[in-house]
Amino acid sequence: MVRGGCSPYRVFGIRSDRPVGNGLVLFVFIRVRSLRTITNLFIGNQSLIDLVSSIFILISKFRNEQTDFTKLSRGRGVFVCLFWSSDYIYWALLVSSTTNLVFITLERYIAVVKPILYRKRVTWISATIVAIFPWVFGLIFELFWPAVHRLVDGACYPDWRSPWIQALVGIIVFEVEHILPIAVMILVYTGIVKKLRNKVGVDTSATKNGQTERRTTRWERRGQQRAQTANQSRTNFQI
């Protein structure tokens, strides 16, 4: 697993329009009361995560000079190495962003496939708790990254000690950050599409049945009217 200060994620993320765009989304969400839905809560949470990560990227980008650890105390130098120079915050927020995207997908799945359960169980309180989870999960999951960093002779760098450990951690990270989210999203969206197709089929059948019933009722009424007219004519003739 290769991580460094010039990762493609950082190059892609160093744009000022990211903070502006995400900030605008949050501003609209806060100002417009009608948009404060549970779905938009997760979307706003996504914008907040991306906003914080983009601000962190911009700050670290414009700080061109390398940190001189020789001018820092031992404790402060280790802290800066582990939690700033390692880009721990950035990688943690990246995990949080992916996790929140999965939750957005799951929220839509429950709303479409299990609407009754959604109305009963999904409340603002439960949704807020779920929205906080990606932040906590990202910070906890990425703790291994500062844990493998070392500050030696004024240099901060990752020291895995064993290539086997590095390979194992790399596989776990790849599974959690890429394979698992993609698999969940594919399965969930497939379920949503199937549900919507079935619903369209049922609605179409109901419409056709309704039209057939209306036609049948119309013919029955006409037949009854004709029978009544014939009976009336016979009665008049007999009289």
Q: What is the pLDDT of residues 64-77, one digit of tens each?
A: 456 778 788 888 98
**pLDDT tens digits, one per residue of 43-99:** 999 999 999 998 888 887 666 456 778 788 888 989 988 998 888 999 999 999 999
Domain 8-178 falls under CATH 1.20.1070.10: yes
- Taking residues 223-238, report their average pLDDT: 55
Ordered by start, the domain boundaries in the chain are: 8-178
**pLDDT tens digits, one per residue of 125-181:** 999 999 999 999 999 999 999 999 999 888 888 999 899 999 999 999 999 999 999
Tokens 């609605």 map to which residue? 203
Closest CA to 1 of 153, 148, 155: 148
pTM of the model: 0.75
pLDDT at residue 139, rounded to an integer:
96
Q: What is the mean pLDDT of the chain?
A: 82
Q: How confident is the model at residue 110 (pLDDT cuts 50, 70, 90)?
A: very high
Closest CA to 23 of 51, 3, 61, 1: 51
**31 vs 89: CA distance, rounded Å:** 29
pLDDT of 208 above 60: no
pLDDT at residue 21, rounded to an integer:
83
pLDDT of 204 above 60: no
